[in-house]
């Protein structure tokens, strides 16, 4: 018997259907010599400090640093997780071979390996490695299963990351909280979180320290074209007026006219960060929102695996591109010109050297129907970017005109689109204007030496402060370890040294918001006083440096490639934590008295914060009546999988209200919902407010 372990019940259901394992059992499917079971996210976590030593339960400076002799894992404290894990452990013991069908990435590998480690698996392991959840992709994946050992380095990198975050997070958070915190404050420190906050604080300080200055520029209009003086901005109105008087005494003369044809390269395919940046710029979506939306589209089989950091496709995908474009029927007006000719094998799109485990995010070709607006928008971004990548380049004409008035040089530039090329895909979009970029305008033909009257003027302006981060610009700064980079090629080179991973950056930003270290005003992100004071308290540059943290990320990627030892990385972090502890204990900085975070609460001997419990999938819950069989979703209700015998069912709609997934989960796990307005009691005309309660005989009433 072969045992497949998926990461979600829905994925397990799809795999079971394709493999012919159609018999539903308690916590798994069976049939055709396969058993298919599932986790629902993280089942295991690294042990907490008190799991190693009782005295580590309390937050005391004298116990730091906490360095376990070896790291262990434990099951998450959740009844649903523990029940499903028992099923997995029994199946692991009975099977002949395990097929790891977890999410095909570092986090997915870690989740599955920890479950197998906890289940004490000794059976051979194969790996299903796929980039989409379509039926074709799953079938192809099972026909080309990999040896699980091929992903040992990926697992090692995931373990090193988790251990590194534990070592620094657990120790530094307790260290700074006990040394500098007062009252109930928790000063949270993290390997990626803290340098990200430091970048925002640094920008905030630049903005706060900015002193606005007035300036004056000389301009003139010659032949209906505005020219700007190519000299330093003037610092006084007096100098500007003297300059204006000088200009009025001399004619305008053309000294150079140059028109060059250029090309605007096609936009790159999306990696996760680029998609999050675009969705933030166009729709104001947070990085976390975009990650959830693209993950939903992936699970609906509409796009390929999203947690990627490459903008390239593998070369073996080239023959499939025409078929995907053909299937994008809502975009047929845009794909028709491409399909009229063979699809070019562009080096800017296909490059095996730039692709490791996964390729860029692209549509699968499946037709999207009935999508919510937010998902439709994100799908449209992916689909149009995919189409635009294969269009011709955009041809432009760039014009530069130089002139002079007496001894004062002037300049004007213009750009004209000759052939729109890939811009046709975005014909209805308002183009983004980058800072310093010229507007698209056509300049007349000028002849060198021509001269004539002009209309000079003075433009008065004010200097502007540095721009605060938005989620889009913050994601880019994290990707490039704080370096301001516009060039796509350079950005690709810097990705190995970015801080965080594409899949974790959204969560880091959300954590900073949740801890009230940063706040959002419209689209802009600002450091709060809490965040500023925390960064000011940290004297150790290593904790705050995006560049040095990016170096850790590079080492984690080298571990993934088998080019760096996990144990070396761990020992480096241990040495750093020990040095940091010694330094902070022996130095006196100012104590921080701030508004306490919510919800963490520090007691006299505070306990460490526990990880939030994962959301429970209704598919993973057992029938509350018989407590033997899992629940099954029907057309109008959830019911016991053994309904004919047990008879339990929970309708989707009750007392005139369609129940949300949260309300259904509350009924199943707590036997009651929160208060609901507008409930209708049979036989009574008026609506009422109350809780829906599941009675002891498994009926439902208003309580």
For the stretch 212-247, pLDDT in tens is 999 999 999 999 999 999 999 999 999 999 999 999
Q: What is the largest CA-CA distance in the chain?
A: 102
pTM surpassing 0.85? no
Domain spanning 214-266+394-462, CATH architecture: Distorted Sandwich (2.70)
Q: Which has more confidence, 673 or 629?
A: 673
> What are the residues facing 676 on neighbouring strands?
690
686, pLDDT greater than 80:
no
184, pLDDT greater than 80:
no
pLDDT score, position 599: 37
Q: What is the DSSP string of 388-446?
A: HTTSPPEEEEEEEEEEEETTEEEEEEEEEEEE-GGGGGGTTSPPP--TTPPPB-PPPP-
* CATH 1.10.460.10-classified regions of the chain: 160-209+467-586
Which tens digit of pLDDT belongs to each residue from 101-116?
998 888 889 999 999 9
pLDDT score, position 298: 92
pLDDT level of residue 595 (50, 70, 90 thresholds): very low
pLDDT level of residue 612 (50, 70, 90 thresholds): very low
Under CATH, which number does the domain 2-144 receive? 3.40.50.140
131, pLDDT greater than 90:
no
For the CA atoms of 368, 374, 378, 383, the dihedral, rounded to the nearest 10 degrees, stands at 30
Give the percent of the chain with pLDDT over 90. Answer: 63
Give the percent of the chain with pLDDT over 70. Answer: 91
pLDDT level of residue 456 (50, 70, 90 thresholds): very high
pLDDT score, position 606: 38
67, pLDDT greater than 50:
yes
Residue 250 exposed, middle or buried by CB count within 10 Å (0-12, 13-18, 19+): middle
The residues annotated with a catalytic role in the active site are 305
Fold of 160-209+467-586: Topoisomerase I; domain 2 (1.10.460)
Going by their DSSP bridges, the two strands 631-633 and 28-31 should be labelled as unpaired
Across the range 173-199, mean pLDDT stands at 88
State how far Cα 491 lies from the chain centre: 17
Task: Give me the count of residues in the chain.
Answer: 703
48 three-class SS? coil
Report the C-alpha gap between 470 and 478 in whole angstroms.
Answer: 12
Across the chain, mean pLDDT equals 88
pLDDT level of residue 700 (50, 70, 90 thresholds): confident
Q: Which has more confidence, 87 or 352?
A: 87
650, pLDDT greater than 80:
yes
Q: Which of 477, 422, 434 is nearest to 276 (CA)?
A: 477
pLDDT score, position 460: 95
pLDDT level of residue 487 (50, 70, 90 thresholds): low
The tokens for 149 are 């050992």
Across the range 451-470, mean pLDDT stands at 95
Report the C-alpha gap between 572 and 555 in whole angstroms.
Answer: 11
Across the range 370-392, mean pLDDT stands at 95
Fold of 272-389: Topoisomerase I; domain 4 (1.10.290)
pLDDT score, position 484: 62
64 three-class SS? coil
* CATH 1.10.290.10-classified regions of the chain: 272-389
589, pLDDT greater than 90:
no
Q: Which has more confidence, 492 or 295?
A: 295
* CATH 2.70.20.10-classified regions of the chain: 214-266+394-462
Q: Residues 511, 461: contact at Cβ < 8 Å?
A: no
612 three-class SS? coil
* CATH 3.40.50.140-classified regions of the chain: 2-144
Alpha helices in 151-284 (DSSP H): 152-180, 193-209, 237-248, 272-283
pLDDT score, position 598: 40
140, pLDDT greater than 60:
yes
pLDDT score, position 563: 94
448, pLDDT greater than 80:
yes
433, pLDDT greater than 60:
no
Q: Which of 267, 94, 269, 61 is nearest to 178 (CA)?
A: 61
401-426 core/surface letters (b: 16 or more CB in 10 A; e: else): bbbbbeebebebbbbeeeebbbbbbe
pLDDT score, position 642: 75
């Amino acid at each position: 018997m072969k045992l497949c372990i998926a990461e979600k019940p829905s994925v397990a259901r799809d795999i079971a259907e394709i493999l012919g394992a159609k018999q539903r059992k308690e916590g798994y499917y069976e049939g055709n010599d396969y058993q298919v079971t599932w986790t629902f996210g993280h089942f295991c976590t690294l042990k907490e400090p008190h799991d190693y030593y009782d005295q580590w339960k309390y937050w005391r400076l004298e116990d730091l640093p906490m360095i376990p002799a070896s790291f262990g894992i434990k099951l998450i404290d959740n009844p649903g997780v523990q029940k499903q894990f028992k099923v997995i452990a029994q199946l692991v013991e009975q099977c002949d071979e395990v097929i790891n069908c977890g999410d095909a990435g570092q986090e997915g590998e870690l989740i599955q390996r920890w479950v197998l480690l906890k289940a004490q698996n000794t059976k051979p392991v194969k790996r299903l490695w796929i980039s989409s959840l379509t039926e074709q992709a799953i079938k192809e994946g099972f026909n080309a299963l990999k040896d699980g050992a091929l992903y040992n380095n990926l697992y090692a990198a995931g373990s090193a990351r988790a251990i590194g975050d534990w070592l620094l997070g657990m120790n530094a958070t307790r260290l700074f909280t006990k040394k500098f915190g007062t009252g109930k404050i928790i000063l949270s420190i993290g390997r990626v979180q803290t340098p990200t906050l430091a970048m925002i604080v640094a920008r905030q300080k630049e903005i706060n320290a900015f002193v606005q200055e007035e300036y004056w520029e000389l301009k003139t209009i010659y032949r209906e074209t505005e020219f700007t003086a190519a000299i330093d901005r003037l610092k006084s109105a007096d100098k500007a007026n003297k300059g204006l008087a000088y200009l009025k005494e001399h004619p305008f003369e053309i000294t150079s006219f140059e028109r060059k044809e250029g090309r605007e390269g096609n936009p790159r395919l999306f990696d996760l960060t680029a998609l999050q940046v675009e969705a933030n710029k166009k729709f104001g979506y947070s990085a976390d929102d975009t990650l959830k939306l693209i993950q939903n589209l992936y699970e609906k089989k509409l796009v390929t695996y999203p947690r990627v950091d490459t903008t390239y496709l593998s070369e073996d995908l080239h023959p499939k591109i025409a078929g995907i474009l053909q299937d994008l029927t809502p975009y047929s007006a845009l794909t028709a010109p491409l399909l009229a000719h063979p699809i070019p094998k562009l080096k800017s799109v296909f490059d095996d050297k730039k692709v490791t485990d996964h390729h860029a995010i692209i549509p699968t070709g499946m037709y999207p129907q009935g999508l919510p607006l937010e998902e439709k928008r994100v799908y449209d971004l992916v689909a149009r970017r995919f189409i635009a990548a294969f269009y011709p380049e955009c041809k432009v004409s760039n014009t530069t005109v130089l002139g002079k008035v007496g001894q004062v040089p002037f300049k004007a530039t213009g750009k004209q689109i000759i052939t729109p090329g890939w811009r046709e895909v975005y014909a209805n979009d308002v183009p983004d204007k980058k800072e310093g970029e010229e507007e698209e305008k056509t300049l007349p033909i000028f002849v060198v030496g021509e001269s004539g009257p002009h209309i000079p003027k003075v433009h008065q302006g004010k200097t502007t402060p540095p721009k605060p981060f938005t989620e889009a610009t913050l994601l880019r700064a994290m990707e490039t370890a704080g370096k301001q980079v516009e060039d796509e090629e350079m950005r690709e080179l810097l990705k190995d040294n970015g801080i965080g991973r594409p899949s974790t950056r959204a969560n880091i930003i959300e954590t900073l918001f949740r801890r009230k270290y940063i706040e959002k005003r419209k689209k802009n992100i600002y450091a709060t006083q809490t965040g500023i004071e925390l960064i000011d308290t940290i004297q150790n540059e290593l904790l705050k440096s995006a560049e040095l943290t990016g170096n850790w990320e590079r080492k984690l990627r080298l571990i993934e490639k088998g080019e760096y030892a996990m144990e070396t990385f761990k020992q480096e972090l241990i040495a750093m934590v020990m040095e940091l502890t010694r330094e902070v204990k022996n130095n006196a900085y100012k104590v921080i008295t701030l508004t306490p975070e919510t919800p963490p609460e520090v007691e006299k001997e505070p306990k460490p914060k526990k990880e939030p419990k994962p959301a429970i999938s209704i598919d993973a819950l057992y029938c509350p009546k018989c407590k033997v069989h899992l629940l099954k979703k029907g057309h109008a209700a959830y019911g016991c999988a053994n309904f004919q015998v047990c008879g339990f069912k929970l309708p989707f709609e009750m007392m005139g209200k369609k129940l949300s997934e949260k309300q259904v989960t509350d009924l199943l796990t707590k036997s009651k919902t929160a208060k609901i307005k507008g409930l209708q009691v049979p036989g009574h005309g008026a609506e009422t407010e109350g809780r829906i309660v599941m009675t002891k005989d498994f009926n439902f009433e208003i309580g």
